[in-house]
Structure 1
Amino acid sequence: MNLKIITSTTRPGSKGITIAKWVHILALQEKDISVELIDLAEINLPLMDEPNHPRLGQYQHQHTRDWSTTIKEGDAFVIVLAEYNFGFPAPIKNAIDYLFHEWAYKPVAIVSYGGISGGMRSAQMLRQVLTTLQMVPIAQGVTIPFFAKNIDSDNTYIGDESQKESAVKMFSELQKWTSALRPLRR
């Protein structure tokens, strides 16, 4: 399974990349998974600037063609999702909206983080967007409330045992769904 872990925010100083690195390390320990960490801050997509609807695949800009290739290569995704004002951050919506067919029939898991809710409101809102693109949001994910308390002085996220167990189950479910959906992507 070719897994892409995608951050959701581009805000300087955001801790999302810290949590994404933790997820990445856990994914590297799994069998039969190749994994890539995608930091939307590094990808640096402008606000949607393509003149044609993404369903046409007639991309005019190199940044869109590069993004298309990256997402096309993925079999499954984990979105490391912040919660801003009870919703998901604009950069992840922008990154999703750039493409259409590249997302279809692929499973996606959400690792949400935030305050007391652990980003669950954001995750619930994002699932509506994902299903519209014919993605399959799986039930298994990781919810991280009060995430900042688990970031050490080296800016490393230290997940607790229940979070690690949830991540391992999430990877297992992604592999099952990837296999089940593969015929639909042909």
Structure 2
Amino acid sequence: MIRIAVVLGSTRPGRLGKPVADWVQARAAERGDAAFEVLDVADFGLPLLDEPVPPSRGRYSQEHTRAWSQAVNAFDGYIFVTGEYNHSIPGALKNALDYLYKEWNNKAAGFVSYGSAGGTRAVEHLRSVAGELQMADVRAQVALPLATEFEGYRTFTPSENAEKNLQTLLDQVIAWAAALKVLRPGKEQDTGAYTLAGPNKG
């Protein structure tokens, strides 16, 4: 079965992203056409990138990098849940993306964003990052303005339109994740202490 990670990108105390990620996971689990799991960047305790070798080499020296690598590599696609900080994505999410390379390659990516303008400007940045990491980003997006989707700007109360947009996003991410599997032969990727199924080392 296709496996999709719901990547929760904010690590901020009191973050609004947690109920959003839980909503995405709950709605996705109702479908039955793919397996979904929340992947919370905060759970991995990643410091600012501290690997001496570029991630494209897959030679990791830190235990936290190896743990993050294994977690990310296990999925066929990702739905990134991100807030908008100063017209871009949270620093913790960018840092987590930068830690790896081949683990992201040839996989589908979708975006659920929130913020004063629905997080749309953050996603524009995130799409360019995803492209460089060789992820195929789908067109559909769920944008959640704080004024309309969060009661009192704090309590997440998704609208009917948000629910509909999420289903479209899920359709596209699952379809693209399945289509891209042919580009990921089951070859071994050396990551030091771990051996992961992934693309050729080149």
Superposed pair shares fold, TM > 0.5: yes
SS across alignment from 1:78: strand
Task: Give the conservation status (yes or no) of the 8 Å contact 1:22–1:158.
Answer: no
**Unmatched runs of 5 consecutive residues or more in structure 2:** 186-202
CA distance in structure 2 between the aligned counterparts of 1:159 and 1:76, rounded to whole angstroms: 24
**Aligned counterparts of 2:9 and 2:148: Cα–Cα separation in 1:** 17
What TM-score do you get using the length of structure 2 for normalisation? Answer: 0.86
1:121-160 matches, cutoff 5 A:
121-146=121-146, 150-151=150-151, 157-160=156-159
Identity in percent = 35
User: Counterpart in 2 of 1:71?
Assistant: 72
Q: Separation in 1 of the partners of 2:184 and 2:149?
A: 41
1:175 deviation in Å? Answer: 1.4
2:44 touches 2:67 (CA, 8 Å); kept in 1? no
Please say which of residues 89-98 and 139-148 is displaced more in the overlay: 139-148
Q: Distance in 2 between matches of 1:147 and 1:28?
A: 27
Query: Which residue of 1 is the match for residue 193 of structure 2?
Result: none
CA distance in 2, matches of 1:102, 1:29: 27
Aligned CA RMSD, in angstroms, stands at: 1.5
Distance 1:15 1:147 in 2: 13
Could you list the structure 1 runs, at least 4 aligned residues long, displaced by more than 2 angstroms after superposition. Answer: 147-152, 155-158
Inter-CA distance 76–149: structure 2 relative to 1 (3 Å threshold):
closer
In structure 1, C-alpha distance between the alignment counterparts of 2:147 and 2:103, rounded to whole Å? 31
* Match in the other structure for 1:46: 47
Output the amino acid matched with 1:36. Answer: E
- The alpha-carbon deviation at position 156 of structure 1 amounts to 5.9
What is the aligned residue count?
Answer: 183
The separation in 1 between residues aligned to 2:79 and 2:170, in whole angstroms, is 9
Using the size of structure 1 for normalisation, the TM-score is: 0.93
Which structure has the greater CA radius of gyration?
Answer: 2
1:99 is matched with 100
Shift of 1:30: 1.3
- Decide whether aligned partners of structure 1 residues 69 and 125 sit closer, same or farther in structure 2, where only a CA change above 3 A counts: same
Distance in 2 (CA, whole Å) between partners of 1:46 and 1:85 is 21
Q: Give the CA deviation at 1:32.
A: 2.1
Name the counterpart of 2:57.
56
Secondary structure (helix, strand or coil) at the match of 1:107 reads strand
Deviations 1:86-128 (A, max 9, x none): 111111110000000000010100001001x201011001111
Give 1:38 deviation, angstroms: 1.5
CA contact (8 A) 2:76 2:178 kept: no
Counterparts of residues 22-37 of structure 1 (less than 5 Å): 22-37=23-38
Q: For 2:109, what is the secondary structure of its paired residue?
A: strand
The residue that corresponds to 1:86 in the other structure is 87
Relative to its length, the structure with more strand (as a share) is 2
Gaps of 5+ in 1: none
